[in-house]
Amino acid sequence: MCIHPRIRAVILLFAVLPLTGCFFRTHNPEKRLSTAILKEATLNELVETINSSASRLQTLNTTIDIDTAVGGPKKGKVTEYEEIGGYLLIRKPDMLRMIGKFPVVGNRVFDMVSNGKNFELSIPPQNKFIVGTNQIGRPSDKPVENLRPQHILDALLLRPIDQSEIAVLEQSTETVKDPKTHKDAEQADYVIIVIRKEGNGYFLSRKIVFSRVDLMPHEQLIYDKQGALVTDAHYESFTDFGGGIILPTIVKIERPIEEYEIQLAILKPRLNEPIKDEQFVLPQPPGSQLIDMDRKNGATAENQQSNQERPKPNW
């Protein structure tokens, strides 16, 4: 077979180029890959991890440590508050009460309850009693008035993926500290994307990130119906409490729109013990200032009479 001289010249050029070193260069990749041993799971197995533990837990009664920070790019600064202790009560499906106390003296910093729709928040040091629905119409410039018990409940306990939701699996990566070098490295993870059906439409509800080291959900991103990120929750130090219940004992909750963070350390949990209705009743303290967060599209109504009585919660 006869090869045209020009074609022979081109073939010879490409054969010689790799030997010269003049037309290429090599370099090490910038990203390090994690050396951790990774596990594998299917979508169904990951969904079962969430749903199984969620179905077994009905109540939680625990002491907690609370770390809080307020601020971010919008405010131009971040203020970190001293850690306080407290108590947390949860009864499914929607009941929550959380109490924060000053160190040493033990007086209450705040006391808040929610039935899933409405909440009451008592702040004794400010002599305020804040009430309203769990939805924020317009964020307040006072961080404490943006606090909602339902946000904590939604982030603290992963809801099961139910029949009105569609779950799909994404194989993604995250940046972690390599277990050997302790330097930043890229590590594969699993992300369950949860799409929720409401009426005739669908919207992005959540993303749940599973570490491939232990196949536990270490992050949950919660979105509103417009696709905006409203809660970013991180979970650490998972503990097996028996009976198929595995829970994180460190939960960090970030609310990027209102710019506040709460970290809860669960210290002495008691699970599935009876919790009575009256433990979720929070009457307005006498003489405290009532603030209704639902008036005027979420604006506070600080001119209401402080001695105004509210009906007892009907649950």
CB 286 within 8 A of CB 124: no
Query: Which residue type does 198 have?
Result: E
Give the pTM: 0.81
Summary mean pLDDT of the chain:
85
In this structure, what are the phi and psi dihedrals at residue 191, rounded to the nearest 5 degrees?
Answer: -125, 120
Q: Name the CA dihedral angle for 56, 223, 140, 305, rounded to a multiple of 10 degrees.
A: -50
List Cβ neighbours of 241 (8 Å cut-off, separation of 6 or more).
Answer: 247, 269, 271
Cβ–Cβ under 8 Å, residues 298 and 137? yes
CA separation for the pair 178, 310 (Å, rounded): 55
The residue behind tokens 């077979």 is: 1
Over residues 7-12, mean pLDDT: 62
Between 308 and 114, the higher pLDDT residue: 114
What domains can be seen in the chain, in order of their start residue? Answer: 43-163+237-292 (2.50.20.10)
Output the CA–CA distances (angstroms, integers) from residue 18 to 5, 10, 12, in the order listed: 21, 14, 11
The 3-state DSSP composition of the chain as helix, strand, coil percent (nearest 5) reads 15, 45, 40
Residue 36 bridge partners (DSSP):
none
Which pLDDT score is estimated for 300?
38
Residue 143 pLDDT level (bands cut at 50, 70, 90): low
Contact 144, 304 (CB under 8 A): no
Lowest mean pLDDT among 141-155, 217-231, 280-294: 141-155
Name, in order, each residue with C-beta under 8 angstroms of 247's C-beta and a sequence gap of 6 or more: 53, 57, 238, 239, 241, 266, 269
Give the 3-state secondary structure of residue 164: coil
Judged against a pLDDT cut of 50, whether residue 302 lies above it is answered with no
Handedness of CA 155, 260, 301, 98 (dihedral sign): positive
Q: Which two tokens stand for residue 3?
A: 């090869």
Output the DSSP codes for 18-41: HHH-SS------SSPBP-SPPP--
Residue pLDDT, tens place only, 193-241: 999 998 889 999 999 999 999 999 999 999 999 999 999 999 999 999 9
DSSP assignment letter at 46 = H
Q: Which of 57-71, 173-187, 201-215 has the lowest mean pLDDT?
A: 173-187
Of 115, 99, 144, give the one whose Cα is nearest residue 258. 144
Residues in CB range of 59: below 8 A, 6 or more apart: 89, 90, 91, 92, 271, 272, 273, 274, 275
CB neighbourhood size of 191 (10 A): 18
Phi, psi of 239 (to 5 degrees): -130, 135
